[in-house]
Amino acid sequence: MSTETNTLYPVFLKVRNLQVLIVGGGNVALEKLTFLTKSSPDAVVEMVAPFFRPETLELAKKFNVKITKKRFTRKMLKKRHVVIATTDSPAVNKRVYRAARKRFLLCNIADVPELCDFYMGGIVTKGNVKIAISTNGKSPTTAKRLRQFFEEVIPENIDDLVQNLNEYRKTIKGDFEEKVETLNEFTKGLISKN
């Protein structure tokens, strides 16, 4: 039995405010772009590669992704926040990683966990509710199955609850602690096991 634990810190990024670079134009690049634009259709993304799959170009056009048909150079990391490398060349991917780390950029080298500052885990979105799933980079398939499970069990109208609680929250009087206590009391029925 393993005693290893997931020490990753989950963060929800406003990628519309960040500059994302995807290095690569093949199947993995398409997968990463699909994942990113599904969750954050307003992401600001540029892709760079000598060639791109037609499906990638089609998706990029749909989401206003800038396409640069060139080989990666370190200069392309200027004014970036997040870099994702998806090439089939381990040497290029390592070069991207080393250059990104020198600039303190968040970097994900696809399918190489030791060269990742973050993972792109499973995501379930229902309106304003978003749940991220991580297996610590160990099993993307498990994350996928958990995502499918949560998509089934979380009701479609969960966003109505969120909206209603937000409106109710605005009417509560008192300081922060009193508001939290009131909301906790009001919502505890959501998890009661009757």
- Beta strands 44-48; 19-23: pairing state: parallel
- Is residue 83 domain-shared with residue 164, that is, in the same domain? no
Tens digits of pLDDT across the chain (194 residues): 667 888 889 899 999 999 999 999 999 999 999 999 999 999 999 999 999 999 999 999 999 999 999 999 999 999 999 999 999 999 999 999 999 999 999 999 998 989 999 988 889 988 889 999 998 878 888 988 999 999 999 888 888 888 888 888 888 888 888 888 888 887 777 766 65
| The one-letter amino acid at 38 | K
Report if residue 2 sits inside a domain.
Answer: no
Contact of 120 with 144, CB cutoff 8 Å: no
**What's the total number of domains in the chain?**
2
Report if residue 6 sits inside a domain.
Answer: no
Contact of 169 with 176, CB cutoff 8 Å: no
Q: Which positions ≥6 away from 13 have C-beta within 8 Å?
A: 40, 82
Nearest to 58 by CA among 73, 50, 47, 42: 47
Looking up residue 27, the CATH number of its domain turns out to be 3.40.50.720
Question: What is the domain range of residue 166?
Answer: 157-191
